Amino acid sequence: MKNPKLLFPIIFLLIGLTSFAQNDKSAYVFKLNESIFPSALRKVKRAVENAENMQADYLVMELNTYGGAVDVADSIRNIFLTTPIPTIAYINTNAASAGALISIACDSIYMASGAQFGAASVVNQQGEKMPEKYQSYMRATMRSTAERQGRKPEIAEAMVDERIVVPGVVDSLSILTFTTSEAIKYDYAEAQFDSVEDLMKHLQIDPAKTEHYASSTLDNVINFLLNPAFHGALLMIMFAGVYFELQSPGIGFPLLAAIIAAVLYFMPNYLEGLAANWEIALFVVGLILLALEVFVIPGTGIAGVLGIVAMVAGLTLSLVENNFFDFTYTPSGALSGALMTVMLSFLLSIVLTFFLGGSLFNSPYFKKLSLETEQKAEEGYTIKQEGTDLLLGHSGKAVTDLRISGTIEVNNERYDAITNGEFIEKGTDIVVKENRGNYFVVQKA
């Protein structure tokens, strides 16, 4: 260079331009500080979609969870492995069980001081270890995920199975859980940072080009409706409502409660793409078949059984991803878990109706829903025909099928009648048991 005095300014200019370019990176940041259930999956889907739309350089997840449903964690794992955006897990406190799987699926892992990471055995709701087939699936999933992200697979397996010994890492026949320093030492975490802000500075991300996940009111409502416990409660209301309505047709309130519960059950699953139109239709067909069994063709049992099967199938399939019974991409255990949720709720609703069925309609709370004013005969109200009390105990015939209600004939006169729930075919001998003014209560003679 002819003029060496210009050399230093050019060098400083190049350094400045390089520094500016390095600090021009963008990121999308979201927190996953909750149990890994469908609401968490919904949040991850939205976060990844938003990050891809803004073409962010990084997707940063701040994680603190003790775990959750394995099938949901598996779905989140697949999302992280397939997105083209580099994914970063920042474990600020815990990444246990399903949280460990999600972390390993990320391209980079950073941890806060005092954080923990591991303990990925599959357990039930009581914290008891599940059978070997579940552990085997989790071991394979953890191993393949670690291999995909360039991490040691045997360490990932040791987080699931206490029988796996990794020399120099874990040899005490206990399930592996890393502290922050241990995770960094064995190349499962890149570095320690005290906050997300410090991590962002390390990644040279421009704060002006950083977007954060913001939950809307609709998000909060849908997340609440997706809660498994609330799902179970809705199922119990549905089953109990249908039962009470079939036992006492015309009341309306149990049926209304069942309809509202069904809408709240299917709506969030439909919005999340889990419940398809045909699955909802399958549930409705089941209800129709059940109603036909009770009111139109009682006694056969076929329509009733098919109706219950269709209802349970519709409710179960709406909880898992499938393409018209194609479960190729459905996480292992998702279908059995959904079926268990539905059947357990069904059994609990049976127990509930057994203990409350006889007293529910007579309870003071239920009576507030109906008119309690009595129209007494001494006040001039009457619909009894003269001499109808004389028919009590008399025999006659069913002129029509009594599907709870119908027409009878006694002493060559026809009257409206109902049964106490039994089905009486046309032409069957009956006996009059009670006079209710404008109709009789009868039973088979």
**Is residue 8 domain-resident?**
no
Q: Are residues 182 and 89 in the same domain?
A: yes
- pLDDT value at position 17? 46
Q: Are residues 251 and 330 in the same domain?
A: yes
The CATH code of the domain that includes 59 is 3.90.226.10
Structural tokens at position 37: 């259930």
Would you state the torsion angle of the CA atoms of residues 419, 420, 423, 426, taken in this order, to the nearest 10 degrees? -20
The domain in which residue 431 lies consists of 377-444
Domain boundary among 339, 367, 395: 367
Tell me which of 113-117, 239-243, 410-414 is least confident.
239-243
- Give the model confidence (pLDDT) of 350-395 as tens digits: 777 666 554 444 555 445 544 555 555 555 444 455 555 678 888 9
**Is residue 11 domain-resident?**
no
**Is residue 58 domain-resident?**
yes
- pLDDT value at position 353? 67
In the predicted structure, residue 13 carries a pLDDT above the cut 70: no
Query: Cα angle at 45 between 41 and 47, to 5 degrees?
Result: 115
- pLDDT value at position 424? 85
Q: Are residues 252 and 300 in the same domain?
A: yes
Closest C-alpha among 89, 84, 83, 82 to residue 106: 89
One-letter amino acid for residue 124 of the chain: N
**Is residue 95 domain-resident?**
yes
Three-state secondary structure of 191-245? EECCCHHHHHHHCCEEEEEEEECCCCHHHHHHHHHCCHHHHHHHHHHHHHHHHHH
12 vs 154: which has the higher pLDDT? 154
Q: Are residues 126 and 201 in the same domain?
A: yes
- Give the model confidence (pLDDT) of 24-57 as tens digits: 799 999 999 988 888 888 899 999 999 999 999 9
Q: Are residues 394 and 434 in the same domain?
A: yes
Q: Are residues 122 and 265 in the same domain?
A: no
Structural tokens at position 108: 């980079």
Helix/strand number for the chain, H first, E second: 15, 13
Structural tokens at position 231: 């799902």
**Rounded-to-integer distance, Cα 66 and Cα 91, Å:** 12
Looking at the DSSP bridge assignments, the partners of residue 42 are none
| Domain total of the chain | 3
- pLDDT value at position 176? 92
In the predicted structure, residue 302 carries a pLDDT above the cut 60: yes
**Is residue 60 domain-resident?**
yes
Closest C-alpha among 117, 51, 110 to residue 79: 51
pLDDT-derived band of residue 109, with 50, 70 and 90 as boundaries? very high
* Beta strand spans in 33-134 (E): 58-65, 87-96, 108-111, 116-118
**Is residue 317 domain-resident?**
yes
Q: Are residues 85 and 229 in the same domain?
A: no
- Give the model confidence (pLDDT) of 152-195 as tens digits: 999 999 999 988 888 888 877 788 999 999 999 999 999 999 99
Per the document, the length of the chain is 445
The CATH code of the domain that includes 432 is 2.40.50.140
Q: Are residues 170 and 42 in the same domain?
A: yes
Task: Give Cβ neighbours of residue 34 (< 8 Å, ≥ 6 apart).
Answer: 40, 65
**Rounded-to-integer distance, Cα 325 and Cα 159, Å:** 33
Q: Are residues 193 and 229 in the same domain?
A: no
Tell me which of 5-9, 262-266, 305-309 is least confident.
5-9
Would you state the torsion angle of the CA atoms of residues 28, 33, 34, 36, taken in this order, to the nearest 10 degrees? 50
In the predicted structure, residue 293 carries a pLDDT above the cut 80: no
Q: Tell me if the pTM is above 0.85.
A: no
Domain boundary among 191, 214, 237: 214
Q: Are residues 294 and 347 in the same domain?
A: yes
Domain boundary among 344, 367, 390: 367
Q: Are residues 251 and 207 in the same domain?
A: no
Q: Are residues 182 and 79 in the same domain?
A: yes
Residue 139, φ and ψ in degrees, nearest 5? -60, -45
